[in-house]
């Protein structure tokens, strides 16, 4: 009978470290770990309930590095929002029509960016400036203007930006407060596809804006 050699690891070979357990090293890794942990915790608990030490622990980072690399909680919230907003901007790069934007907004409202905005609005105490300009909304404003021009309509830049913000906030509000809204309106959620109705109405609104039909003509006296 053949005798097999010893297939176990040599006693002098150190175990391979668990990649998930390795602490972040270097400024870029530490910042990324802190922002990733903060995004998850803020979306789950709301900024008021998240302590900076908790973020540091979740990121496996020394607590003092939070202030060194990110600053105060408002600074952290701003960084988290900008990070998520920049990622979401990629969803609008190949959009063919403004109605597609509606569908994306209704999806984003279920993501962490929607929950973070909802928490901040409900908790209060934070300046709106903590978010800063959104690259995603700038893209959407450009889509509004582009589609309007395709229909022979001209939507000024500021109006396009307001409508972009309106679409996002309506989608966010619907996702956050839908169960309460249906309940107080005495709607049987099993009897009607409320999401489909809201999507249809927002599509109609978007189409109306780009076609210029929102400028109602005054009837002659």
Q: How far apart are CA 29 and CA 21, in angstroms?
A: 14
Q: Confirm whether 76 is domain-assigned.
A: no
126 and 89 in one domain?
Answer: yes
Which string of DSSP letters, residue by residue, matches 104-151? HHHHHTTSHHHHHHHHHHHH--S-GGGT---HHHHHHHHHHHHHHHHT
171 and 65 in one domain?
Answer: no
Taking residue 147's Cβ as centre, other Cβ atoms within 10 Å add up to 23
* 164: pLDDT strictly greater than 80: yes
| Confidence class for position 21, pLDDT limits 50, 70, 90 | low
* 159: pLDDT strictly greater than 90: yes
Q: How far apart are CA 186 and CA 100, in angstroms?
A: 30
Higher-scoring residue by pLDDT: 203, 134: 203
Taking residue 2's Cβ as centre, other Cβ atoms within 10 Å add up to 3
pLDDT recorded at residue 156: 95
111 and 140 in one domain?
Answer: yes
Tokens 């040599």 found at: 10
Q: Which of 42, 71, 100 is the last residue of a domain?
A: 71
Domain count across the chain:
2
Task: Give residue-wise pLDDT tens across range 174-217.
Answer: 988 899 999 999 999 899 999 999 999 999 999 999 998 644 34
180 and 133 in one domain?
Answer: yes
Tell me what the pLDDT averaged over the chain comes to: 82
Task: Give residue-wise pLDDT tens across range 83-92.
Answer: 877 777 778 8
pTM: 0.71
| Confidence class for position 109, pLDDT limits 50, 70, 90 | low
93 and 189 in one domain?
Answer: yes
94 and 53 in one domain?
Answer: no
pLDDT recorded at residue 187: 95
| Confidence class for position 147, pLDDT limits 50, 70, 90 | very high
Task: Give residue-wise pLDDT tens across range 26-60.
Answer: 788 999 999 999 999 988 898 888 899 999 999 99
130 and 59 in one domain?
Answer: no
- Give the structural domain span for 58: 24-71
137 and 157 in one domain?
Answer: yes
* 133: pLDDT strictly greater than 60: yes
181 and 98 in one domain?
Answer: yes
pLDDT recorded at residue 153: 94
Q: Confirm whether 32 is domain-assigned.
A: yes
């Amino acid at each position: 009978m053949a005798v097999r050699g010893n297939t176990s690891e040599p006693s002098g070979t150190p175990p391979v470290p668990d990649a998930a357990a390795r602490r972040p090293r270097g400024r870029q890794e530490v910042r990324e770990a802190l922002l990733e942990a903060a995004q998850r915790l803020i979306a789950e608990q709301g900024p008021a309930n998240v302590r900076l030490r908790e973020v540091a622990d979740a990121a496996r980072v020394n607590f003092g590095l939070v202030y060194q690399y990110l600053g105060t909680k408002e600074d952290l919230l701003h960084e988290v929002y900008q990070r998520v907003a920049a990622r979401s901007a990629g969803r609008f790069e190949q959009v063919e029509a403004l109605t597609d934007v509606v569908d994306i907004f209704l999806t984003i409202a279920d993501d962490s960016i929607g929950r973070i905005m909802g928490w901040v609005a409900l908790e209060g105490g934070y300046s709106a400036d903590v978010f800063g300009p959104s690259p995603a909304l700038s893209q959407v404003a450009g889509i509004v203007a582009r589609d309007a021009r395709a229909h022979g309509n001209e939507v000024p830049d500021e109006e396009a930006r307001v409508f972009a913000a309106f679409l996002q906030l309506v989608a966010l509000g619907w996702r956050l407060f839908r169960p309460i809204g249906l309940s107080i309106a005495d709607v049987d959620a099993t009897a009607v596809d409320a999401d489909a109705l809201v999507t249809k109405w927002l599509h109609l609104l978007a189409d109306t804006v780009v076609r210029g039909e929102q400028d109602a003509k005054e009837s002659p006296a």
